Every structure is written in structure tokens, then in C-alpha cells.
Amino acid sequence: MLSKRVKYAIKTLLFLYENGDGKPISAKIISENEKIPYKFLENILRELRQNKILKSVRGAEGGYKFLKDPNEITVAEIIRIVDGPIALIPCVSFYFYEKCEDCTDEISCKIRKLFVQLRNEMLPILNKSITDLEKL
């Protein structure tokens, strides 16, 4: 399962996409509209900014807007930033690979083969962008 952070992050990006008209949108507005706990949302927004998905404007009338083109922000990317791997087992992950301690031969491992297949099926769906998502 994904964490709430990821779901909140995606909701936030969708909200910004649907309501962003040039002016930045404050965490308070997002929090109230999407029912995300304010302080928790701040953390998530910081993470998105640090990863160059969003940019922030400080001070009164400040808030957040896209830094990266929403057309190029994928759900997979958000999951990787917020939660980590897409793959269901670590030895199958591209970005967060880890060797299985108990595994003697990774190449012949039947379980690995299955989860490679699974990841390969999952990726095209998760590679949809925020703008794709809005059209669903």
C-alpha cells in the first residue's frame, strides 16, 4: 500500500493544476479544500519543492505553484519522491535496488521473475502525468 503522504501529494498537485491561474496558492487553501492536516501538508510541500516539482513564494500573498511542467510530472515520480520504490520487492527496483539476503541466484529466482513482470505492467499506468490524470 502507498502512504497517505503520496495520496496527499497527488491530490495537492491535482488541486494546483485545476486552480492555478498564475498566482501562487497557499498551503492553507490546499489544506482546507483537500482536507489535508495543515502541518503535515507543509512537510509534503517542502518535499515537493526540494525535488523541484513545485516552487514557493514567501510572505503574504505567497504560496506554491508548479516549477516542473505538470505535463511532465508523473505519478510514478511522485511515488518515488515521497514513498520510494514502485516495485513490490527491492531486488526488482530500478531506483531503490537492494539485494535479497536470502537469495542465492537472482537471475533464476522465480519470484523475482514474477515481480519484474508485475513492475513492467505497473509502470505504463503510473507514468501518466498530472494532466493525464485530470482527464480520466
- Based on CB atoms, which residue is closest to DNA, 26 or 135? 26
Alpha-carbon distance 57 to 77, whole Å? 23
- In angstroms, the CA 88 to CA 30 distance is 31
Task: Kindly write out the interface string for residues 5-24 of this chain, putting x where it contacts DNA by CB under 7 A and - elsewhere.
Answer: x-------------------
- Per-residue binding string, DNA, 30-69, x by CB under 7 A, is -------xxxx-xx-xx--x------xxxxxxxxx-----
3-state secondary structure of 69: coil
Residue 79: strand, helix, or coil: helix
The residues with which 129 forms a beta bridge, in sequence order, are 74
Residues that bind DNA (CB under 7 A): 3-5, 26-28, 37-40, 42-43, 45-46, 49, 56-64, 83
